[in-house]
């Protein structure tokens, strides 16, 4: 346990020496796909992965995510809430993420908006408020902007991109840059029950990474997912259960050095019927 805790602290310290508010995977569905979600972004998780995806949504949705003890270390737990509200002018979104514990806490509040042109081209942006609090030290805050876009290239192929912190915002008196990340990729939808996602991700402080995910809708009630990523090498998997307006998602993330981490999400999708199926799929 002490060895694992020390390793996590070292990794976190090294990453924090470059930037605060690292881009981490949020939501059990997206985590199970190894974070390959920026070109899919078809639910309220779009707030964190690509706000333009909100423009695809037709119904209100609220989701809660919790990673209670990543790699067995409760001090690096993450909790997040997302909300999407479709309107006549587009879809508004809200995201709230909390990372850390009482001695070190990062909080990120996001106001998001997504819309579409002819239901083929989607665009969106995030307005971020960041707050960093370290016990016995002063807290610090900053603002930043994200942008994203999606486009249906064909009926079965979708391309997307996302830029996290395009403003290059910094936080604290040391002027540490908040993580700046570029993501792009494609979602292939060869049949109505399969999604294949291939993406690349570039944090300005780290090597280029590859993300891939496969999602299979077994039936109206049950989904399974798997993913693979590099930098670091990681394997992911998970499943989702749908009933009425509720959805429960689980994901497992296996890091090459730190081991296993588990996450769970609970979602209320007000557009789903009693079978858990979206009525627009009928």
Closest CA to 260 of 50, 68, 129: 68
Q: What are phi and psi of 206, to 5 degrees?
A: -135, 165
- Greatest alpha-carbon pair distance for the chain in Å reads 56
- The pLDDT tens digits for 68-83 are 866 667 677 899 999 9
SS3 12: helix
Prediction pTM value = 0.87
Cβ 210 vs Cβ 64: under 8 Å: no
End-to-end alpha carbon distance in the chain: 50
Cβ 236 vs Cβ 256: under 8 Å: no
13, with CB counted inside 10 A (0-12, 13-18, 19+), is exposed
Write out the chain's pLDDT in tens, 282 residues: 444 444 444 444 444 333 468 888 899 999 999 999 999 999 999 999 999 999 999 999 999 999 886 666 767 789 999 999 999 999 999 999 999 888 889 999 999 999 999 999 999 999 999 999 988 877 899 999 999 999 999 999 999 999 999 999 998 877 788 999 999 999 999 999 999 999 999 999 899 999 999 999 999 999 999 999 998 899 999 999 999 999 999 999 988 777 788 899 999 999 875 444 554 454
CATH number at residue 148: 2.40.160.60
Number of domains observed in the structure of the chain: 1
Cβ 257 vs Cβ 235: under 8 Å: no
Beta strands in 53-180 (DSSP E): 61-67, 78-87, 90-101, 104-117, 121-134, 140-152, 157-164, 170-171, 176-178
Structure confidence at residue 244 (pLDDT): 92
Structure confidence at residue 261 (pLDDT): 87
Closest CA to 28 of 225, 173, 259, 201: 225
Cβ 140 vs Cβ 170: under 8 Å: no
Structure confidence at residue 278 (pLDDT): 55
- Which residues form the domain of 99? 2-281
Q: What are phi and psi of 147, to 5 degrees?
A: -135, 160
Closest CA to 52 of 104, 100, 153, 120: 120
DSSP 43: S
Structure confidence at residue 47 (pLDDT): 97
């Amino acid at each position: 346990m002490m060895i694992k805790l020390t390793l996590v602290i070292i990794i976190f310290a090294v990453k924090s020496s470059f930037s605060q508010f690292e881009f981490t995977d949020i939501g059990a569905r997206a985590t199970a796909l190894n974070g390959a979600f920026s070109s899919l972004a078809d639910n309220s998780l779009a707030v964190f992965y690509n706000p333009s995806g909100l423009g695809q949504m037709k119904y209100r949705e609220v989701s809660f995510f919790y990673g209670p003890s990543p790699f067995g270390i409760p001090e690096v737990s993450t909790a997040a809430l997302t909300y999407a509200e479709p309107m006549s002018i587009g879809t508004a979104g809200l995201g709230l993420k909390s990372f850390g514990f009482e001695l070190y806490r990062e909080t990120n509040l996001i106001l998001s908006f997504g819309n579409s042109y002819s239901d083929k081209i989607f665009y969106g942006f995030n307005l971020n408020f960041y707050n960093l609090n370290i016990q016995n030290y002063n807290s610090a805050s900053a603002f930043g902007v994200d942008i994203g876009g999606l486009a249906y290239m064909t009926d079965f192929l979708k391309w997307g991109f996302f830029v996290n912190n395009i403003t290059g915002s910094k936080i604290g008196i040391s002027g540490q840059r908040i993580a700046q990340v570029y993501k792009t990729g494609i979602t292939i939808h060869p049949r109505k029950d399969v999604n294949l996602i291939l993406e690349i991700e570039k944090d300005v402080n780290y090597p280029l990474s590859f993300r891939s995910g496969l999602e299979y809708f077994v039936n109206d009630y049950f989904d399974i997912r798997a993913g693979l990523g590099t930098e670091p090498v990681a394997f992911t998997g998970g499943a989702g259960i749908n009933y009425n307006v509720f959805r429960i998602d689980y994901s497992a993330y296996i890091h090459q050095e730190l081991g296993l981490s588990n996450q769970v999400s609970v979602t209320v999708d007000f557009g789903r019927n009693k079978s858990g199926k979206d009525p627009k799929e009928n």
